[in-house]
C-alpha cells in the first residue's frame, strides 16, 4: 500500500497543474473577463479629451476608451485600437511613441500601429479620429 499515497499525490499534483493551465488559457482568451477588452475599438464615437493632451510628435493612451492617439504634426491626429492583436489585452503604457502590452510583452509603434516586438505580428487597427470643438472624438463616424 505504500504506492497508493504516491499515486494520490500524483493525481492531486496533476489536477492542480491542470487548473493552473486552464487559468492561463482563460487569461489569454479574448473572451476573458479578466481585463481584456471585448471589442478592439469604440463601437460609437467617444470623446477623448482636449487636443492639446496629445503632444505634437507624441502619443497618448486613452485606456478607458481603448484608443491610442498620436499627433505627427500640429492639427494632425492618428488613432489606433489599444487592444493588443496577439491575445486581446489592453496596452498599459506609451513611452516614446511605443505602446506596451502587459500580458506577453508585445510592443507597437503608436504612430503607425505596426507591431515592433512580438509575439504580436499584426498591426493595431486604425480608428477614425477627428477634432470637434477643440476635443478629440474617436470611433465610427468620427
For residue range 5-33, list pLDDT tens digits in order.
555 555 555 554 444 444 444 444 333 33
Task: Please tell me what DSSP assigns to residue 53.
Answer: G
Q: Which residue has better confidence, 11 or 93?
A: 93
Within 8 A by CB and 6+ apart from 93, the residues are 61, 99, 100
Question: In this predicted structure, what is the pLDDT of residue 141?
Answer: 78
Whole-prediction pTM value? 0.72
For residue range 133-142, list pLDDT tens digits in order.
999 999 987 6
Q: Which residue has better confidence, 59 or 142?
A: 59
Amino acid at each position: 500500500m505504500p504506492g497508493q499515497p504516491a499515486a494520490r499525490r500524483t493525481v492531486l499534483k496533476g489536477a492542480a497543474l491542470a487548473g493552473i493551465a486552464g487559468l492561463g488559457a482563460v487569461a489569454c482568451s479574448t473572451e476573458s473577463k479578466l481585463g481584456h477588452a471585448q471589442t478592439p475599438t469604440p463601437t460609437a464615437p467617444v470623446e477623448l479629451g482636449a487636443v492639446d493632451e496629445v503632444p505634437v510628435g507624441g502619443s497618448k493612451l486613452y485606456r478607458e476608451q481603448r484608443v491610442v492617439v498620436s499627433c505627427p504634426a500640429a492639427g494632425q491626429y492618428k488613432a489606433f485600437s489599444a487592444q493588443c492583436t496577439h491575445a486581446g489585452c489592453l496596452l498599459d503604457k506609451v513611452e516614446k511613441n511605443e505602446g506596451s502590452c502587459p500580458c506577453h510583452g508585445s510592443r507597437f509603434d503608436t504612430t503607425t500601429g505596426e507591431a515592433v516586438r512580438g509575439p504580436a505580428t499584426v498591426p493595431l487597427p486604425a480608428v477614425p479620429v477627428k477634432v470637434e470643438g477643440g476635443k478629440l472624438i474617436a470611433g465610427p463616424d468620427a
